[in-house]
Amino acid sequence: MASEHTNNQTGPMTETESIAYDVVVLGAGPVGENVADRARAAGLSTAVVESELVGGECSYWACMPSKALLRPVIARADARHVPGLSQAVQGPLDVPAVLAHRDYYTSQWKDDGQVGWLDGIGAVLYRGHGRLAGPRKVTVDGPDGERQVLTA
């Protein structure tokens, strides 16, 4: 039986009957992905809740794009100190090429590959904001305004 909830940001939310899993993982960053992988390897039914991109902060906003931006600049600076190579490193930095390099490493901010991996291990992905709502209970407020209840 569905019940209706009010959410000031998205309008009415509906809550459906709970869906049971052995494990519910909040967050699909590196730790969440590893927990899901190990749970599935142990034969446990697994749900993963993620409000942004599967892969987490490191893959899309922190580690990977930062390193992709820093590495060309550092390599260029280092090359200027190598005899015989310093002459080859002339002219300005090609900023569009450096940004394209970053975009490549962030998969253009698309998580299709990591979503496919989760699907491949048999984990079920729920897009939305998850929160603990009681013992063994997680609510997921989806981007479409639907509320789902997961139990573990």
Whole-number pLDDT of residue 61: 86
- Cα gap 109→27, rounded to integer Å: 17
Range of the domain at 61: 3-151
State the angle between helix axes of 112-121 and 30-41 in degrees (0 to 180), rounded to the nearest 10: 20
pLDDT on residue 21: 98
Number of structural domains (the chain) is 1
Q: How far apart are CA 139 and CA 132, in angstroms?
A: 7
Residue 86 belongs to domain with CATH number: 3.50.50.60
| C-alpha pair distances (Å), 125 with each of 48, 64, 89, 113, 150 | 5, 23, 47, 13, 12
Q: Are 33 and 111 in contact (CB under 8 A)?
A: no
Q: Is the pLDDT of residue 5 over 60?
A: no
The whole-number pLDDT of residue 87 equals: 80
Residue 91 confidence class, pLDDT cut points 50, 70, 90: confident
Q: Where is pLDDT greater, at 127 or 86?
A: 127
**pTM for the structure as a whole:** 0.77
The structure tokens listed for 39 are 């749970």
